[in-house]
């Protein structure tokens, strides 16, 4: 697992991660799909996870991300600081991949 820090939102929308990878962004308004569910569906390929700034992604940013092929996922009912969300997301992914 590689954690890449601080790329611009626009830059992330433009990167071609390839067809075998899932692109997910944590959004507190995503109610239908959790991070764990998204990762479980894509165990054979890579997962790229975008975590937003304090205060979360705006509706406009979410619309742009969705339009660029990113999936909105949540950490359930949890709304966390950006730093805590990053640690939590990495822990969830490592657990699902059997690394914990």
Q: Which residue has the higher pLDDT, 47 or 50?
A: 50
Domains of the chain, with CATH numbers?
Answer: 21-96 (3.40.1280.10)
Closest CA to 30 of 56, 5, 6, 55: 56
pLDDT band at 3 (very low <50, low <70, confident <90, very high): low
Strand duo 47-50 + 22-26: pairing? parallel
Q: Is the pLDDT of residue 22 over 70?
A: yes
Please state, in angstroms and rounded to a whole number, the distance separating the CA atoms of residues 22 and 28. Answer: 19
Q: Is the pLDDT of residue 64 over 90?
A: yes
Would you state the pLDDT for residue 90? Answer: 87
pTM here is 0.82
């Amino acid at each position: 697992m590689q954690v890449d820090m601080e790329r611009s939102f626009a830059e992330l929308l433009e990167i071609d991660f390839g067809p075998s990878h899932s692109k997910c962004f944590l959004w507190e308004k995503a109610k239908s799909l959790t991070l764990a569910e998204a990762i479980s569906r894509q165990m054979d390929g890579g997962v790229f996870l975008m975590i937003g700034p304090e205060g979360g992604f705006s509706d406009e940013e979410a619309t742009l991300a969705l339009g660029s092929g990113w999936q909105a996922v949540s950490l359930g009912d949890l709304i966390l600081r950006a730093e805590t969300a990053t640690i939590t997301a990495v822990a969830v992914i490592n657990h699902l991949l059997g690394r914990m």
